[in-house]
Amino acid sequence: MIVQGNIVDIENKRIYKGEVEVENGKIKAIRETNHTIENYILPGFVDAHIHIESSMLVPSEFAKIAVTHGTVATVSDPHEIANVLGVKGVEFMIENGKKVPLKFNFGAPSCVPATSFESAGAVIDSEDIKKMMENPDIKYLAEMMNYPGVIYQDEEVLKKIAWAKHYNKPVDGHAPGVRGEDLDKYIAAGIYTDHECFTYEEALEKLQKGMKVIIREGSAAKNFEALIDLLPEHYENMMFCSDDKHPDDLLVGHLNQLCERAIAKGIDVFKVLKAACINPVKHYNLDVGLLKEGDEADFIVVEDLEKFNVLQTYINGELVAEKGKPFVKHVDFEVLNNFDTDKKQVADFEFHSASDKIRVIEALDGELVTNEIEVDSLIKDGNLVSNTENDVLKMTVVNRYKNAEPSIAFIKNFGLKEGAIASSVGHDSHNIIAVGVSDEAICKAVNLLIENKGGVCAVSDSEEKIVSLPVAGIMSDKPAEEIGKAYAELDKKAKDMGSTLRAPYMTLSFMALLVIPSLKLSDKGLFDGNTFKFTSLEIK
């Protein structure tokens, strides 16, 4: 097979007319030739950090959409399913991913549960990490979220890092806002990447201290604009990732969109493509071709180097997508789940108080971080209730692994004027998380998820809508196009109910993410991410 076009030699910063000859899945030869074809041939895109589960698709269905956007590989952290099903969940992701051509590179989740302040469905300890590191299908130790454990030298945390080093596998970072001496300690432990930077200054310090910074632009966390100006000078040590990508967004685009945006800012195309195609392969030592003779034939053909409209995607020499149409076959799989809680009563969501003021989570659109603010209480019959006029709504996290009393908090900026929305995608432990205008609406939404053993839903005065997620309560068993369309309709429903957030369900899913400051809610209570301690809802 021979593919002709303008060859983009990223490392040598050269573009020339040529052809790529492929034989037995590898590049046999790359030759300069004279032809009239104006398309461009370049290495495929590699997402340097993503949780496939957050697309609500199993790997085989994720692959169908990703290849149409020129993605040939991912660095995938199966942390989400691991928090539900443990090592068994990781094995499911690996085996399902092997049945399609896209090159998933899974890591061993380092923090299951992410903290001791929440209830997860499983535990992965250092002995489990040792066994996983022995597995050649495990490429790295996934993001070390427990940065306080690293900084203060928690024995179990250090054992996990030591096993990764023993098997010569990279350790992925996760250190939002960590600076100065604490950052020095984090790096000294052997952690050299971070995808959590949300300010230019933070990312610059990490780059100057030898870390590789991954620019994240997902469905909720959007750091591209804050960090992209670092790329021209630091392109050798930067990469792109989506981290979390909801299905409707994935249908529209993937890393090709980030390349388009970077080029529009006037950044040199070779620097952009170094971050998008080359750096992840080299840092994580991936079995992914880089458009060189003898490499695996993993490359893409794009219409131009401005819009990056993907015409063809090849993986191991196989044409897996052409002009938006994937050739990835459907894969049958066993549906695994872990849901074991009874339906709730409205009274379970009451919070009796006489406090004049309460601590409230302030959600920030496009950010995982939150603020802590003080707000006047609204009390009816001794029960703290939502204040829709001031957009301070009641929120709950419900343990889905056993019967337990729901935890209660309040949150600002969701904007709902009626009903409630809820999700069993609640990072990191994936308990049920809901926000609504009344206890009745919240109860109805929570019970809808319990009945379906997982999903995302919206309940209004007139109707109930749900996208069921039967695979571990976080992924669908349906085709990508179907789940993408259904999710888009649900997103619209939440916005019709008043939400002003760009991605209300993605934002909701992170409001239980304790390892990101400042104020979050677990199934065990309101949590201060700055002090890493529980705090009180009431201000006395």
Neighbours of 255 (CB within 10 A): 27
Decide if 58 is inside a domain: yes
pLDDT surpasses 90 at 540:
no
Number of structural domains (the chain) is: 2
Domain boundary among 265, 286, 307: 286
Is the same domain home to 260 and 168?
A: yes
Decide if 318 is inside a domain: no
Decide if 184 is inside a domain: yes
75 CB-near residues (< 8 Å, 6+ apart)? 46, 47, 48, 49, 50, 105, 107, 139, 140, 172, 241, 280, 284, 286
pLDDT-derived band at 515 (thresholds 50, 70, 90) equals confident
Q: H or E segment at 260?
A: helix 255-264
pLDDT surpasses 80 at 56:
yes
Q: H or E segment at 249?
A: helix 247-252
Residue 499 main-chain phi, psi, to 5 deg: -65, 135
d(CA 291, CA 300): 10
pLDDT score, position 506: 87
Is the same domain home to 276 and 373?
A: no
d(CA 470, CA 337): 7
Closest CA to 106 of 83, 130, 73: 73
The mean-pLDDT minimum among 46-55, 63-72, 499-508 falls in 499-508
Pull the structure tokens for residue 268.
Answer: 């040199």
Is the same domain home to 282 and 350?
A: no
d(CA 242, CA 219): 8
Helix (H, G, I), strand (E, B) or coil at 489: helix
Which runs of consecutive H residues, i.e. helices, occur in 1-123? 59-66, 79-85, 87-98
Q: Please give the single-letter amino acid code of residue 43.
A: P
Residue 530: CA atoms inside 13 Å, Cβ hemisphere, count? Answer: 7
Q: State the average pLDDT over residues 502-523.
A: 93
Decide if 202 is inside a domain: yes
Mean pLDDT computed over every residue of the chain: 96
pLDDT surpasses 80 at 220:
no
Contact 284, 73 (CB under 8 A): no
Which CATH number does the domain housing residue 271 bear? 3.20.20.140
Helix (H, G, I), strand (E, B) or coil at 280: helix
Neighbours of 274 (CB within 10 A): 21
Pull the structure tokens for residue 460.
Answer: 């209004």
pLDDT score, position 433: 98
Is the same domain home to 489 and 353?
A: yes
Contact 57, 248 (CB under 8 A): no
Decide if 417 is inside a domain: yes
Q: State the average pLDDT over residues 348-377.
A: 95
Q: Please give the single-letter amino acid code of residue 518.
A: S
Is the same domain home to 376 and 507?
A: yes
Decide if 294 is inside a domain: no
pLDDT score, position 30: 98
Is the same domain home to 282 and 370?
A: no
Closest CA to 211 of 196, 232, 229, 221: 196
Decide if 480 is inside a domain: yes
Domain boundary among 256, 286, 316: 286
Q: State the average pLDDT over residues 433-461.
A: 97
DSSP 416-467: -SSSEEEES--TTTT-EEEEESSHHHHHHHHHHHHHHTSEEEEE-SS-EEEE
| pTM of the predicted model as reported, rounded to 2 decimal places | 0.93
pLDDT score, position 246: 87
Is the same domain home to 234 and 150?
A: yes
pLDDT-derived band at 126 (thresholds 50, 70, 90) equals very high
- For residue 402, the 8-state DSSP code is S
Cα angle at 404 between 401 and 407, to 5 degrees?
Answer: 105
Q: Residues in the chain, how many? A: 540
For the stretch 230-279, pLDDT in tens is: 999 999 999 999 999 988 899 999 999 999 999 999 999 999 999 999 99
Please report, rounded to a whole number, the percentage of residues in the chain having pLDDT higher than 70: 100
Is the same domain home to 179 and 263?
A: yes
For the stretch 318-347, pLDDT in tens is: 999 999 999 999 999 999 999 999 999 999
Domain boundary among 268, 286, 304: 286
Residue 231: CA atoms inside 13 Å, Cβ hemisphere, count? Answer: 30
Contact 427, 455 (CB under 8 A): no
- Token look-up 């999903």 returns 455
- Domain extent, residue 57, equals 44-286
| Secondary structure E strands in 195-235 | 212-216
Is the same domain home to 73 and 212?
A: yes
Indicate left, alpha or beta for 153 from its phi (over 0: left) and psi (-120 to 50: alpha).
left
Is the same domain home to 269 and 386?
A: no
d(CA 326, CA 69): 10
Decide if 8 is inside a domain: no
Is the same domain home to 124 and 213?
A: yes
Please report, rounded to a whole number, the percentage of residues in the chain having pLDDT higher than 90: 93
Is the same domain home to 99 and 230?
A: yes
Question: Cis (ω within 30 of 0) for the bond into 428?
Answer: yes
Neighbours of 10 (CB within 10 A): 21
For the stretch 23-41, pLDDT in tens is: 999 999 999 999 999 999 9
